[in-house]
Amino acid sequence: MLVLPPYIGCVYLHGFLSSPDSKKAQELVQYFTQHNMQDQLLIPTLSFEPEEAIQQALTAIHSLQKTPDIKQVFVMGSSLGGFYATYLGQTENLKAILVNPAVRPFELFDRYLGPNEHYYDGQTYILEMKHIEQLQALEISRLTYPEQYLLLQQTGDETLDYRQACAKYINCPSWLEAGGSHSFDGFIDRLDMIFNFVMSESKS
């Protein structure tokens, strides 16, 4: 198994109503811990408010960037976290890994307006129009450096239309799998590929 070198740090962003306790997040924790690299990984608990979630992600990114010996930080996001990672990859000039990402979540969230129960903490959060407007403000319509993004997409995503991501990231390095699910089945088996991409030289 490929070992991520000590000069690289990762910020993982979970999806809507998810948490650092999600399966993919915990698989990352296990991988980094097994290789004595736990200080190279941060998984912030993202706020229900998009504006606040972005600030929490930025805090994690800047924290790793200030860590001695870490020379490169990349961001990885799943679902809504992939939407956030797209924004952060562009604005912070970072490599970004997008796992079954939400492309235009503000067009989908009208169905979630009102109370929503969190999958992990059991609390109820109220989705309002202001949250949808905050998401709209984060949309990146054109990627300046598409080669800095890696799309991991499964066609069996039961929550999001995979074709939207394939169209959005058509100029990006991509890994498209038939079947699977929104959770991205077999995520841990793709870590070597992800880290190889992160360590490769950027064209930008």
Residue 3 lies in a domain: no
Q: Render pLDDT for 157-166 as a digit per residue (tens, 0 to 9).
A: 988 899 999 9
Confidence of residue 204 (pLDDT cuts 50, 70, 90): very low
Residue 191 lies in a domain: yes
Residue 124 lies in a domain: yes
Residue 151 lies in a domain: yes
Q: What is the CATH number of the domain that holds 189?
A: 3.40.50.1820
Q: What is the 3-state secondary structure (H, E, C) of the chain?
A: CCCCCCCEEEEEECCCCCCCCCHHHHHHHHHHHHCCCHHHEECCCCCCCHHHHHHHHHHHHHHHHCCCCCCEEEEEEECHHHHHHHHHHHHCCCCEEEECCCCCHHHCHHHHCEEEECCCCCCEEEECHHHHHHHHHCCCCCCCCHHHEEEEEECCCCCCCHHHHHHHCCCCCEEEECCCCCCCCCHHHHHHHHHHHHHCCCCC
Residue 204 lies in a domain: no
| Domain coverage including residue 102 | 8-199
Q: Render pLDDT for 5-57 as a digit per residue (tens, 0 to 9).
A: 778 999 999 998 788 999 999 999 998 998 888 899 999 999 989 999 999 99
Is the pTM higher than 0.75? The answer reads yes
pLDDT at 17: 78
For residue 58, how far is the Cα from the chain centroid? Answer: 13
Residue 69 lies in a domain: yes
Residue 1 lies in a domain: no
Residue 125 lies in a domain: yes
